[in-house]
A and B are shown apart, each in its own frame.
Chain A
Amino acid sequence: MGLIISVSIFLLAIIVNQSMLVGQTTSESVLDFPKAEIQDIRNEVFRYRSAEVDPDPIQADIETLTLYRKSALVDISNTSERLTIHYNNGVTYYHEVIQI
């Protein structure tokens, strides 16, 4: 009985020891994933495309702001038949091509 308890305490100690780092790195990679940023950029691109405003100044602003605030590269190309959104922050890479 004593043996079983001591072995199980030993195993639990190993698990607790490992869980600290695993928990932290997992939660951080979830937090790091720029889902909201990509969604925001997509929404904005679709909105100005459907509103048919001049996209050039807005695209340049989006690219500059994302680089400045999030250190991520954004490249949007908006032609009459194709819309391309490219996002890269060194960890997450997102590339979308929409044929219209």
Chain B
Amino acid sequence: MTKKSKKIHKESGVSETIGYIILFGIMTTGIALVTLYGYPVLLNEQANANVKNMERNMIALQSDVKSLNFKNVPYRENTLQISGGVFKVEKFSTDTKYFKVINETGNYQLIPAASFPGNEFHPGQLLFISEKGDILVGLQNGAVVKREQGGSTMLSEPRWFIDSSGSDKILVLIFTQIDSDADYAKSGIGILQMSSEQPVEVSYLLSSASPIRIEYHDTESDYFSAWRNYFNTFSATTDSTVTIPSVKKVIMKFYKVKILGL
């Protein structure tokens, strides 16, 4: 008799408080795990998304610069949403990175010293500095370059080309310089206003086909490997200079894009 009643009402070990504590414990552990691991992952993703977003912005800006250069558009503006870092205009006069073009037969400098002192072309850049640290995305000399953890890549190339359809090899180099009257830097939403200025065009018809050397100098070596890899598409090289053999004609156009406001 007593055995039967025990089987039906078996509640001697059940406590509401313990059950509550167990459930609460599981819940708290869950919240703790999400805060500990999930939240940093989310923040990290957010920072990555910001950098990705800025890469896109830079490619959009590159096509704006292309319109200014190649389509004779006098003025362009672009609304930028800059989050997770600072966007700044680095004008050519304060830039330590520069290009040189040299005719190896006789070591002639081909960039005109009248417009560019010291035969050095300083491009300047539109630069995004991520607050995540050590990530730079720049629009430099018509190319979109990205630097991360000491290395760099070119996300979008400038329009340099060799035309070898005829009997002579023609090298066309397009340079773009960034200039501004004031120093601009912005985070948040900004409207970048750009205008184009009269380009300088130089063309050399060499007396005999000569090797042409293009040098990229970068003291901080920010975009060193980006340009080296790009130079490799012309001729094999292991540093940031490239020698293109037997060029008969060199055409260089120097465009200037002026930033009016941000």
Residues of A within 8 A of B (CB): 20-21, 24-25, 28, 32, 67-71, 73, 75, 86, 88-91, 95
Let me know if B56 and A90 touch, CB within 8 A.
no
Let me know if A73 and B72 touch, CB within 8 A.
no
Let me know if A24 and B159 touch, CB within 8 A.
no
State A28–B56 Cα separation when bound (angstroms). Answer: 14
Sorted from nearest, which 3 A-B pairs have the closest CB atoms?
A90-B161, A90-B159, A88-B163
Let me know if B165 and A71 touch, CB within 8 A.
no
State A90–B69 Cα separation when bound (angstroms). Answer: 14
Shortest beta-carbon distance from A10 to chain B in Å: 14
Let me know if B59 and A86 touch, CB within 8 A.
no
Quick one: which of A21, A89, A91, A95 contacts B59, CB cutoff 8 A? A21
Complex interface: chain A residues within 8 A of B160 (CB): 90
Can you name 4 extra interface pairs (CB under 8 A) apart from A68-B201, A90-B172, A90-B174? A20-B56, A28-B63, A71-B253, A91-B159
Let me know if A88 and B165 touch, CB within 8 A.
yes
Complex interface: chain B residues within 8 A of A88 (CB): 161, 163, 165
State A25–B62 Cα separation when bound (angstroms). Answer: 11
- Given the known interface contacts A20-B56, A90-B161, A95-B165, the answer about A73 and B201 at a Cβ–Cβ threshold of 8 Å is no
Let me know if A71 and B172 touch, CB within 8 A.
yes
Interface residue tally for chain B (C-beta within 8 Å): 21
State A100–B60 Cα separation when bound (angstroms). Answer: 45
Interface residues of chain B: helix, strand, loop or mixed (majority): mixed
List, sorted by A's number, 27 A–B pairs whose CB atoms are closer than 8 Å. A20-B56, A21-B56, A21-B59, A24-B59, A24-B60, A32-B66, A67-B201, A67-B251, A68-B201, A69-B72, A70-B70, A71-B69, A71-B70, A71-B174, A71-B253, A73-B163, A73-B170, A73-B172, A75-B165, A86-B166, A88-B161, A89-B70, A89-B159, A90-B159, A90-B172, A90-B174, A91-B159
State A69–B253 Cα separation when bound (angstroms). Answer: 11
- Given the known interface contacts A20-B56, A70-B70, A90-B159, the answer about A75 and B253 at a Cβ–Cβ threshold of 8 Å is no
Complex interface: chain B residues within 8 A of A69 (CB): 72
Shortest beta-carbon distance from B166 to chain A in Å: 6
Closest to A72 in B: B70
Chain A proximity mask over B162-181: 1 for CB below 8 Å, otherwise 0: 01011000101010000000
State A82–B205 Cα separation when bound (angstroms). Answer: 26
Shortest beta-carbon distance from A70 to chain B in Å: 6
Q: Which parts of B200-214 form the interface with A (CB within 8 Å)?
A: 201, 203
In this complex, the member of A67, A71, A73 whose beta carbon has the largest number of chain B beta carbons within 10 angstroms is: A71
